[in-house]
Amino acid sequence: MEEHLKGLNAMQREAAIHMNGPILIVAGAGAGKTKTITHRILNLIKNGISPDKILAVTFTNKAAKEMRERIISEIKKHIKGQDSVPFVSTFHSLGVYIIKENAHILGLTRHFTILDDSDSTTLIKESLKELGIDPKQYDPRKIKNIISREKGKFTHLKDYEEKVYDYLSKLVAQVWALYEKKKAKENSLDFDDLLLKATKLLKEKEEIRKIYQEKWEYIHIDEYQDTNEVQYLMSRLLSEKNKNICVVGDADQNIYSWRGANLKNILSFEKDYGKETKIILLEENYRSTQNILEAANEVIKKNVYRPDKNLFTKNKTGEKIGLYEALDENDEADFVATKILELLDKITDVPLKGVSQADEPRGSARSTDLDSDPSKVASIILSDVAILYRANFQSRALEEALLRYNIPYQVLGVKFFERKEIKDTLAYLRCALNPESLSEIKRIINFPVRGIGKVTLIKLFSGEKENLPIKVKIKIDNFYKILEEIKEKIKSSKASEVIRFAVKKSGIETELSTGTEEDMERLENIKELVTLALKYDNSKDGLGIEKLLEDASLASDQDSMMIAENKKTETNAVKLMTVHASKGLEFKYIFTTGLEDGLFPHRRNNESKNGEDKEEERRLFYVAITRAREKLFLSFANFRTIFGSRQINAPSEFISDIPSDILEKEGEEGGIKTIYI
């Protein structure tokens, strides 16, 4: 066997050595799909395919970073003197790349601003007001979500305007039209535009389509089950000439239909690409114990919309799955917290008793030296533990219990790039490159305070600057002078140096240095941004800052956790997250909470789920189970207070799907238990 294929099992190896034509790799949870894709790409290069001809696309920056690093590592190990690497990115980053190269066709500059969720919502809100509609009557977020869903279906404004049929759809069309005008004026795009406009270029401009078809002859799409209509079309357009497309996915992990992910994309792959399509099943799991996999297989086999597969492993049988029946959500949270302490004592023989964290921030670990503080040994193990829940509101009781027992924790979902101080700093950089971005200008022109009020802004944005008092005009000119200086710095300096300069020149550093303790914490976060920027320092001519801004705009919840884990104060903590946010992650110990009928599987009031909806809830539970490597705990509460109303609950039907011989009840050791009500 060739050296670069060693370490692969038979099915992984078969996928890796496949060269030409379409291939579908159905990869079960923990079956080594990233390893398989990496070695497939390596094999292509070993067989004479230039890395420049290879494209690999996935969904999060975290996944793209991991894949890129693995590919580079394998190339260095097996191919001497090979400097170039394949193009590895997320779908949205790929969209940005195509749009930047063709910005003039779209009436944009290459320094267009990517609006985040809150910026988009603000423009929608402004559009509603311009139409004389009270935003309290029609939620801007709801309208934004409707527009986003339509764009995900590759629907353009003109298409939507032709099918309006009631007052709401007519209103959405009017808001959408104003929203597009506002973005055009600001030289900005939202997330959905990055896919929609790039795909539109590929579809409608044959000369552009040919460029990228010739550029990337071999295409790899990860997490194919999560693609929506636009991503599906983009993949087809890029691969239609050479047909060398490799997609990897698992129908059992399709959990994003509410974002537009279309399960039929993976189920219909063979139909779409013809009989020459090769299909390979990766069923050997390297992550979990046999008991965990047995539970997962028994749960998911009830679904109909899936290719038949059965995960197996050579790992140990492992412990049984723990099941706790709680009185209410507080009892459930108390069980989770005390069980975590029990696990720590069991693993390390070092109890956490007496370790106080009263003065420390939520989610942080103690900052004493690792070698001198034995309790720190226990806290390191905390990073092996995750608590999952179906809905965000469930975290409250869990957080209270963790605080009560002095257990450090981190809630996944609070994005690093959404913190005010980070957004303010990045806004200075964006405005320096794109001074047409009025939303960003509005954000920072009076931060730090410069005495520029709302009335002044209205006149400035209306082209009435000359009518302003001389002192105000000087303030505005000084602000734009700062942006010019930052722009010049971007052209000539490293990314980390640019951020230091911008923070100092803008006055942010002085503002936060002389403020409250909370301000000092914000300044620490900006310093972390400088640290993060170091990895962009090798790029020249301002491309480092461009890439940093792009990555910041497209960061996901998991990417935020990746940033946080570079900070020792936040690494050693239990992770709390929704099951959706846990996809792609794994932990030794998983607590899946709230397994009650109506909560998990989730059911909203007056909502009737069809067969596919019910199957998605089952797939979501399957994802929760397969995050665990060594031990899985399940829990449900007989009573739970939801929206102020105490409800009686039946256990989730999912629990009964797990064979009783691999379940064991928790909390029946006897003794008195304190219930917090």
Name the residues annotated as catalytic.
Answer: 33-34, 222-223, 253, 627
Tell me whether residue 7 is annotated as binding: no
Q: With H, G, I as helix, E, B as strand and everything else as coil, classify residue 250.
A: coil
Report how far residue 590's alpha carbon sits from residue 595's, in angstroms, rounded to the nearest whole number.
14
φ, ψ of residue 612 to 5 degrees: the values are -65, -40
Q: What angle do CA 603, 605, 606 make, to 5 degrees?
A: 105
Report how far residue 429's alpha carbon sits from residue 208's, in angstroms, rounded to the nearest whole number.
30
- 584 in Cβ contact with 63 (< 8 Å): yes
Q: With H, G, I as helix, E, B as strand and everything else as coil, classify residue 594.
A: coil
Tell me whether residue 34 is annotated as binding: yes
| Residue 296 amino acid letter | A
Tokens 């005495």 — which residue? 451
Report how far residue 265's alpha carbon sits from residue 335's, in angstroms, rounded to the nearest whole number.
41
Report how far residue 174's alpha carbon sits from residue 161's, in angstroms, rounded to the nearest whole number.
9
Report how far residue 216's alpha carbon sits from residue 123's, in angstroms, rounded to the nearest whole number.
37
Tell me whether residue 28 is annotated as binding: yes
| Residue 280 amino acid letter | I
Tokens 């579908």 — which residue? 24
Report how far residue 427's alpha carbon sits from residue 114's, in angstroms, rounded to the nearest whole number.
11
Distances in Å between the alpha carbon of 106 and those of 112, 149, 159, 201, 667?
11, 22, 18, 9, 62
Report how far residue 47's alpha carbon sits from residue 69's, in angstroms, rounded to the nearest whole number.
21
Closest CA to 627 of 253, 225, 90: 253
Run of H or E including 588? strand 587-592
- Is the backbone peptide bond immediately before 601 cis, with ω within 30 degrees of 0? yes
Beta bridge partners of 642: 645
- 21 in Cβ contact with 243 (< 8 Å): yes
DSSP β-ladder status, 188-189 and 113-114: parallel
Q: Give the list of residues 6+ apart from residue 592 with CB closer than 8 angstroms, or none.
A: 388, 389, 579, 621, 624, 625, 632, 633, 634, 635
Report how far residue 378's alpha carbon sits from residue 94's, in angstroms, rounded to the nearest whole number.
42
Neighbours of 677 (CB within 10 A): 9
Q: What angle do CA 12, 583, 298 make, to 5 degrees?
A: 70
Tell me whether residue 365 is annotated as binding: no
Neighbours of 2 (CB within 10 A): 10
Distances in Å between the alpha carbon of 433 and those of 69, 382, 484, 492, 596?
30, 42, 9, 14, 51
Torsion of CA 586, 556, 299, 246, to 10 degrees: -90
Closest CA to 221 of 23, 52, 4, 30: 23
Tell me whether residue 544 is annotated as binding: no
Tell me whether residue 401 is annotated as binding: no
Tell me whether residue 121 is annotated as binding: no
User: Could you tell me the two tokens for 101?
Assistant: 């190269």
Tell me whether residue 31 is annotated as binding: yes
Cite the annotated binding site by residue number: 27-34
Cite the annotated binding site for ATP by residue number: 27-34
